């Protein structure tokens, strides 16, 4: 694989900025995508074209009396049908877990696609261009591949187990190198009022805000994870988050050298519906900080 930008001989440590600022990304000649990646990318891009067309329409509907609610729900389902059709055609028999359609048990239960066709629905509904398509693949219960695609920015985040994580096929992703919480930009999601995790979240954020450089809430868990993999964010945590929100992003973070766990440091992210993604240095301090938050208000 030819390095176009930086020297391949340069030690990894030297390629990082000193205080840990964003980790420079190596630029490669376009990667030859595997057959599996081509299938996932094809499905994501096709659904992305559909969402992009509908996103344009949403802006017009903002001012209508009925608002864009039903239209967005239709756009979401349409994108999911496109992804389902593409993946089922390319890999007949694989099982599915999809946000809208739910569980589809295929003849091949050792493979399962985990799909969120539109992650960031509230943003989409309001004309905020922060949303993504998320497609993960599990083999024998292990996450092995993930694609997060942001159609508006045309950023495509891809990762396969053991093969690294990439942005638009050519930039190798690495989590940020920051070692101090005081320098860290942390992203999170807010469980809705009345839903599990809301009260404890208020305690967590109050503790985290005192220790870190800043906190963001993008409204798309898939982008939170992809951007953490890319070193834009130093960490991401969320409660009451579902497998379709995180499956692809988990592979991205791991392949970018990050650490990802449930909020006790274990790997039951799907079962506990919670996640913390960071680089190795910040993982324990953040786990500790979150554990210190009182369980309820
Ligand atoms: C939501 C987004 C949001 C997260 C929520 C998710 P949706 O997914 O990922 O960032 O905070 O928990 O439900 O509803 O937009 O697909
Ligand atoms: Ca989602
Ligand atoms: Ca969704």
pLDDT in tens, 273-296: 999 999 999 999 999 999 998 876
pLDDT at residue 218 is higher than 70:
yes
Q: Which residue in the block uniquely carries the two structure tokens 């187990």? A: 161
Per-residue confidence band for 31, with pLDDT thresholds at 50, 70 and 90 = low
Residue 90 located in a structural domain:
yes
Rounded to whole angstroms, the Cα distance separating 240 from 268 reads 13
Choosing from 112, 142, 172, the residue where a domain stops is: 172
Residue 140 located in a structural domain:
yes
Tell me: do 39 and 152 sit in the same domain.
yes
Query: Among 126, 221, 275, which is best to mutate for testing ligand 1, by the most ligand atoms less than 8 A from CB?
Result: 221
Tell me: do 210 and 150 sit in the same domain.
no
Per-residue confidence band for 33, with pLDDT thresholds at 50, 70 and 90 = confident
Rounded to whole angstroms, the Cα distance separating 180 from 183 reads 6
Q: What CATH number should be reported for the domain holding residue 248? A: 3.40.190.80
Structure tokens at 102: 């739910």
Tell me: do 284 and 162 sit in the same domain.
no
Choosing from 146, 172, 198, the residue where a domain stops is: 172
186-195 mean pLDDT: 91
Q: Determine if ligand 1 sits within 6 Å of the CB of residue 220.
A: yes
Structure tokens at 108: 């091949």
Tell me: do 42 and 151 sit in the same domain.
yes
- Residue 209 pairs in a beta bridge with none
For position 11, what pLDDT does the model report? 33
pLDDT at residue 10 is higher than 80:
no
Least confident of 17-21, 25-29, 248-252: 17-21
Tell me: do 262 and 286 sit in the same domain.
yes
For residue 28, what is the DSSP state?
A: B
Please, what is the Cα angle at 160 between 275 and 234, to 5 degrees? 40
DSSP per-residue letters across 105-121: --SEEEEEEEEEEEE-H
Distance 101 CA to ligand 2 centre (A): 13
- Higher pLDDT: 30 or 70? It is 70
Q: Determine if ligand 1 sits within 6 Å of the CB of residue 241.
A: yes
Please, what is the Cα angle at 175 between 172 and 177, to 5 degrees? 120
pLDDT at residue 14 is higher than 80:
no
Tell me: do 150 and 79 sit in the same domain.
yes
Choosing from 147, 172, 197, the residue where a domain stops is: 172
Q: Could you give the percent of the chain with pLDDT greater than 70?
A: 88
245-264 mean pLDDT: 98
Residue 20 located in a structural domain:
no
Tell me: do 158 and 193 sit in the same domain.
no
For position 104, what pLDDT does the model report? 96
Q: Determine if ligand 1 sits within 6 Å of the CB of residue 189.
A: yes
Tell me: do 193 and 144 sit in the same domain.
no
pLDDT at residue 197 is higher than 80:
yes
pLDDT at residue 7 is higher than 50:
no
Residue 199 sits in which domain range?
Answer: 181-291
Residue 22 located in a structural domain:
no
pLDDT at residue 243 is higher than 80:
yes
Distance 7 CA to ligand 1 centre (A): 39
Distance 5 CA to ligand 1 centre (A): 36
pLDDT at residue 4 is higher than 60:
no
Residue with the smallest CA separation from ligand 1 atom 11 is: 189
Tell me: do 154 and 235 sit in the same domain.
no
pLDDT at residue 94 is higher than 60:
yes
Tell me: do 82 and 154 sit in the same domain.
yes
Residue 5 located in a structural domain:
no
Tell me: do 241 and 286 sit in the same domain.
yes
Tell me: do 55 and 118 sit in the same domain.
yes
Per-residue confidence band for 28, with pLDDT thresholds at 50, 70 and 90 = low
- Higher pLDDT: 101 or 69? It is 101
For position 188, what pLDDT does the model report? 98
For position 1, what pLDDT does the model report? 29
Residue 12 located in a structural domain:
no
B/e letters for 155-187, b = 16+ CB within 10 Å, e = fewer, are: bbbbbbeeebbbbeeebbbbbbbbbebebbbbb
Query: Among 128, 220, 249, which is best to mutate for testing ligand 1, by the most ligand atoms less than 8 A from CB?
Result: 220
Maximum Cα–Cα distance across the chain: 61
Indicate the number of domains in the chain.
2
Q: Determine if ligand 1 sits within 6 Å of the CB of residue 116.
A: yes
For position 26, what pLDDT does the model report? 62
The chain-wide mean pLDDT, for the chain, equals 89
Q: What CATH number should be reported for the domain holding residue 148? A: 3.30.540.10
Residue 2 located in a structural domain:
no
Q: Which residue in the block uniquely carries the two structure tokens 């942005």? A: 167
pLDDT at residue 195 is higher than 50:
yes
pLDDT at residue 150 is higher than 90:
yes
Residue 251 located in a structural domain:
yes
Contacts of 253 (CB under 8 A, 6+ apart): 165, 175, 225, 228, 229, 259, 260, 277
Structure tokens at 287: 């786990």
- Higher pLDDT: 108 or 195? It is 108
pLDDT at residue 2 is higher than 70:
no
Residue with the smallest CA separation from ligand 1 atom 13 is: 241
Q: Determine if ligand 1 sits within 6 Å of the CB of residue 188.
A: no
Query: Among 135, 189, 197, 204, which is best to mutate for testing ligand 1, by the most ligand atoms less than 8 A from CB?
Result: 189
For residue 65, what is the DSSP state?
A: S
**Do the beta carbons of residue 157 and residue 229 sit within 8 Å?**
yes
Distance 101 CA to ligand 1 centre (A): 16
């Amino acid at each position: 694989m030819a390095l176009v930008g930086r020297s391949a001989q340069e030690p990894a440590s030297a390629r990082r900025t000193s205080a840990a600022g964003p980790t420079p990304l190596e630029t490669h000649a376009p990667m030859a995508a595997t057959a599996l990646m081509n299938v996932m990318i094809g499905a994501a891009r096709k659904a992305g074209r559909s969402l992009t067309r509908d996103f344009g329409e949403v802006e017009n509907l903002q001012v209508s009396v009925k608002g864009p609610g039903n239209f967005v729900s239709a756009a979401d389902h349409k994108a999911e049908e496109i992804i389902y059709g593409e993946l089922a055609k390319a890999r007949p028999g694989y099982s599915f877990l999809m946000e809208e359609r739910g569980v589809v048990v295929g003849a091949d239960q050792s493979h399962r696609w985990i799909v969120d066709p539109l992650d960031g629905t509230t943003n989409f509904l309001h004309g905020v261009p922060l949303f993504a398509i998320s497609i993960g693949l599990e083999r024998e219960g292990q996450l092995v591949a993930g694609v997060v695609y942001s159609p508006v920015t045309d950023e495509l985040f891809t990762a396969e187990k053991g093969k690294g994580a990439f942005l638009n096929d050519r930039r190798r992703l690495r989590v940020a190198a920051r070692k101090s919480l005081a320098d860290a930009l942390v992203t999170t999601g807010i469980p809705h009022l009345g839903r599990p995790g809301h009260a404890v979240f208020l305690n967590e954020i109050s503790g985290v805000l005192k220790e870190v450089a800043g906190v963001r809430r993008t409204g798309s868990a898939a982008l939170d994870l992809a951007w953490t993999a890319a070193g834009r964010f130093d960490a991401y945590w969320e409660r009451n988050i579902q497998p379709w929100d995180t499956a692809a992003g988990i592979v991205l973070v791991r392949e970018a050298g990050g650490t990802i766990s449930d909020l006790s440091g274990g790997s039951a992210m799907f079962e506990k519906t919670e996640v913390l993604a960071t680089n190795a240095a910040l993982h324990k301090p953040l786990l500790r900080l979150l554990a210190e938050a009182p369980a309820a208000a």
